[in-house]
Structure 1
Amino acid sequence: MPAPAPEIFKAYDIRGIVGKSLTVETVRGIGQALGSEALVRGQTSIVIGRDGRLSGADFAIALAEGITSTGIDVIDVGVVATPITYFAAYELDAHSCVSITGSHNPPEYNGLKMVLGGQTLYGDMIQDLRRRIVENDFAKGAGKITHTDVRPAYIARILSDVKLARPMKIVLDSGNGVAGNTAPELFKRLGCELTELFSEVDGNFPNHHPDPSKPENLQDVIAALKAGDAEIGLAFDGDGDRLGVVTKDGEIIYPDRQIMLFAADVLSRVPGGQIIFDVKCTRNLAPWIRKHGGVPLMWNTGHALVKTKLKETGAPLAGEMSGHMFFKERWYGFDDGLYTGVRLLEILSRSPDANAILKALPDAICTPELNIKMQEGEPLALVEKLKTMQFDGEVERITIDGLRVEFADGFGLARSSNTTPVVVLRFEADTQTAIERIQGEFRSKISAAWPGIELPF
């Protein structure tokens, strides 16, 4: 086969445009590489699941053909949310899985998220799959394919542990993503009365893009909350591993504030536990974790990196600003938007006023994630230049992932995205005046480092 396009081998997964950079032939080769690597790691079977994208069925067939050609067995769990594929790896004692998903990307994209022997593949491990394909470094064998539905076991496992203190009325928006074939049943059986939005799985995403981190994709939830008597809104991304949360009055509760709620709850049962969060999160989070008896740990952005750190530290909880939440306490430690929603409602159901609980969480003036679009390689170069500069009023700098500059009254962040050629920016402050000052400081430094650059703020 021809060498696969190098740009599809991302930091945390494989992702490309269907029929162009990501073809059926490429996916078959990836299957051969995965099966060969699985053998090296002592594995015998790999679970395959897929989201609702139109190309998913053909890719699943090709992936299974590639894997079984190496002697590894395939367990096909069909069209399921990515976290249900992860769950199946545990439930079926396989320890390895691949989710065929384009996540929250536009409909013409698809990709693969991969776990071998309990290790989420990222970085050099993903690059090594491409090396195997280029060098035709494949094992030979004859594995078998079986099919099973793990959704009933997934729902039963959650309901055996999580209980609501009272019934709740909620808006549930699956965005025509794959969560729509499981989430409504799960939340009804949990004891919720639903206003359902876009539960039909449709890879064209005809109503809105399935990315709850963007406010424009939550407008249908906000409208449904306003029109009806539901008390809270939940929205999932395309493959069901991230959650968006909206209050009755239409306020979006961003994931870094969600982590506060989950941390307080988890730490009530795991005193002294370490709580992991990424560099994009609010500066209110670390003091909150300490106040509730936990140990805060800021870490790199990226679901694979956070998951690996969670495993390494034994922390009971981790979360990212992007909406990935990882519960190790009472769950398996993988990112799961459906389970995150269930745990959220478990906490909120203990109060007669769920919205009051959410709105009482510490808040700050902040920007959404801002992106500077650049050419490949340039974002990293710009961030490295910024690291050489001194910022007026700088109190501390954090360089574990890009550059986060802490000021007495806020912070500014610039980091190179690991998935697209952009510099990711985020700003937070105690007052509007402070955030404008911090943004001004970053604006002058970025313009000095890269003259003529177009800024989104």
Structure 2
Amino acid sequence: MPVDPDVLHAIVKAYDVRGLVGEQLDAPLARALGAATAHVLLPDGGRLVVGHDMRPSSPSLAHAFTDGATARGVDVVDIGLASTDQLYFASGILDAAGAMFTASHNPAGYNGLKLCRPGAVPVAIDTGLGDIRDLAPTVDDLPPAERAGQRSEQDLTDRFAAHVRSFVDLDALGAVRVAVDAGNGMAGHVWPAVVEGLPFETTPLFFALDGSFPNHPANPLEPENLRDLQAAVVAGDHAVGLAFDGDADRVFAVDERGRPVSSSLIGAVVADRLLARHPGATVLYNLICSDTVPETIEAAGGRAVRTRVGHSFIKRRMAETDAIFAVEHSGHYYFRDNFRADSGMIAALVLLEAVADAGAPLSEVVAPYDRYAASGERNYAVADQAGALERVAAAFADRGSVDTEDGLTVVTDRGWFNLRPSNTEPLLRLNVEAADEQGMAALRDEVAELVH
């Protein structure tokens, strides 16, 4: 059955592929994507490492993708069940292109595909993904490959766990009582291997791998999906609670009272610790992070560099600046010594190291960094996004500095805000920060009224 180009245009996004299983994403399409990926990313042959998450459709989609890739003469290393950061690690140590079948935090009916070049170099719509999308419908018209590629299997879980542990001082680790909500996602597979033998007492929530997500969606960005973790942390006298998304490349935290801790504060803690080990190094932060992040970097003697939102921009800028670390407001944390890829597991372990060193619960660890009031990300469905941005820009033209690097960022004497179009949805996203709640709310409401 031929692949429908319209379907491909619907499911290929800025950074990855996401679609409804059966209706949009099926085995024939996965096979075509595998062949197109091999042709675009590895035109002269080579290796492609393939992993998949726990969704029921993931193994069959990964198998079809592998068939397509090997038919184009590419050898495939199948690492089986994996988190996305484990796939990036495999791409790095094997120097192979990578393909991860996952829909991350999306509902159970979805699946998707994340791709990278050898060394975990990202693939986005303008760096290969668009070419793969356009080639897939006609890939069978290509001349046949001179040889068929071979498929092999390799379990890298233990090597990945050892790699994650290399980011902390194992000999100095103290005991921490932590609750971990895997959301029936891949953290349930990876976390036990990472913390085996460490002095952490883990209370596991929903570690059984189940892509139907019977307990709650594996999307910790939504407050209702943190409620089980919050209750467990408070009831069990834990110092910290951690929640991972479905493919475990993002981590979120709650303190000992069950209160969510922003990704900016977690990023500031991690940056502080890494700069103590790499004095004077560069650390990146995206333009929606709290001001506490660049302030922390500079106070620790580092060089703070602001970036656009989006993993492909961040990874590219890390390579340009040799940054040791990067913080993204959405719970992604990038590490130079992790092939510049993001890893929820590494960030979580460094955070637990900070809690252990402090001998105090998470609220006390983050208190020195908690200086501002933030709105969190607010989303607005707006038909005329460009018109709304122009309207807001005009209203604030004489009231502060204006930056249009990624949407609209305005710094006023009351605080700052960023208003930008989503890369993946027809929305404008608003983030506001000020010195106190009253100032933040006033600025937030003024911008929101102008947007509408």
TM category, shorter: over 0.9
Residue 102 of structure 1 corresponds to 103
Aligned twin of 2:84: 82
Q: Is the 8 A contact 2:373 2:440 kept in 1?
A: yes
Query: Structure 2 matches for 1:261-276, cutoff 5 A?
Result: 261-276=269-284
Contact 1:70 1:138 in 2 (8 A): no
1:35 aligns with 2:38: yes
Q: Which residue in 2 is equivalent to 1:351? A: 358
Aligned amino acid, residue 76 of structure 2: V
C-alpha deviation, 1:268, in angstroms: 1.6
Deviations 1:314-342 (A, max 9, x none): 100001111010111x4332111111111
Structure 2 counterpart SS, 1:349: helix
Are 1:36 and 1:139, in contact at CA under 8 Å, matched by a contact in 2?
no
Aligned length, in residue pairs: 441
Structure 1 residue 321 corresponds to structure 2 residue 329: yes
The structural deviation recorded for 1:304 is: 2.4
Spell out the pairing of 1:11-410 with structure 2 (5 A cutoff).
11-40=14-43, 42=44, 44-91=46-93, 93-118=94-119, 119-124=121-126, 125-136=128-139, 138=142, 140-141=144-145, 142-160=148-166, 162=168, 163=170, 164-328=172-336, 330-355=337-362, 356-374=364-382, 378-379=384-385, 381-382=386-387, 384-386=389-391, 388-391=393-396, 394-410=399-415
Deviation of the 1:393 alpha carbon? 6.5
Deviations 1:106-138 (A, max 9, x none): 111111110113321012221111121244364
Q: Structure 1: how far apart are the matches of 2:388 and 2:314?
A: 21
Aligned CA RMSD, in angstroms, stands at 1.9
Contact in 2 for aligned 1:175/1:237 (Cα 8 Å): yes
**Deviation at residue 19 of structure 1 after TM alignment:** 1.2
| Cα distance in 2, alignment partners of residues 405 and 388 from structure 1 | 8
Q: Which runs of 5+ in 1 are unaligned?
A: 448-457
Aligned-partner Cα distance in 1 for 2:54–2:406: 33
Amino acid at match of 1:171: A
Aligned counterparts, 1:425-444, within 5 A? 425-444=430-449
Which residue type is aligned with residue 114 of structure 1?
Answer: L
Deviation of residue 436 (structure 1)?
A: 2.8
**1:406 is paired with a residue of what secondary structure?**
strand
Question: 1:46-85: CA deviations, max 9, x gaps?
Answer: 0000111111011011100111110001111111111111
User: Shift of residue 409 of structure 1?
Assistant: 2.6
The share of aligned pairs that are identical, in percent, is 32
Q: How far, CA to CA, are the matches of 1:326 and 1:388 in structure 2?
A: 32
Q: Is the 8 A contact 1:274 1:297 kept in 2?
A: yes
8 Å contact 2:179–2:242 — kept in the other structure?
yes
In 1, Cα distance between equivalents of 2:57 and 2:176: 37
User: Which residue identity lines up with residue 175 of structure 2 in the other structure?
Assistant: P
* CA–CA distance in structure 2, aligned partners of residues 138 and 294 of structure 1: 50
Aligned partners of 2:311, 2:142: CA distance in 1, in Å?
28
Q: Which moved more, 1:156-165 or 1:190-199?
A: 156-165
Alignment counterpart, residue 412 of structure 1, candidates 404, 410, 417 = 417
Q: Which SS does the other structure have where 1:309 is aligned?
A: helix
User: 1 CA distance for matches of 2:62 and 2:238?
Assistant: 38
Q: Structure 2 CA distance, aligned partners of 1:373 and 1:444?
A: 13
Where in structure 2 are there 5+ consecutive unaligned residues?
none
Aligned-residue offset at 1:388? 4.8
Distance 1:269 1:43 in 2: 40
Q: Secondary structure at the match of 2:433?
A: strand
TM-score by length of 1: 0.92
Q: Which has the higher helix share?
A: 2
Structure 2 CA distance for aligned equivalents of residues 211 and 247 of structure 1 = 18
CA spacing shift, 1:127–1:111, aligned 2, 3 Å: same
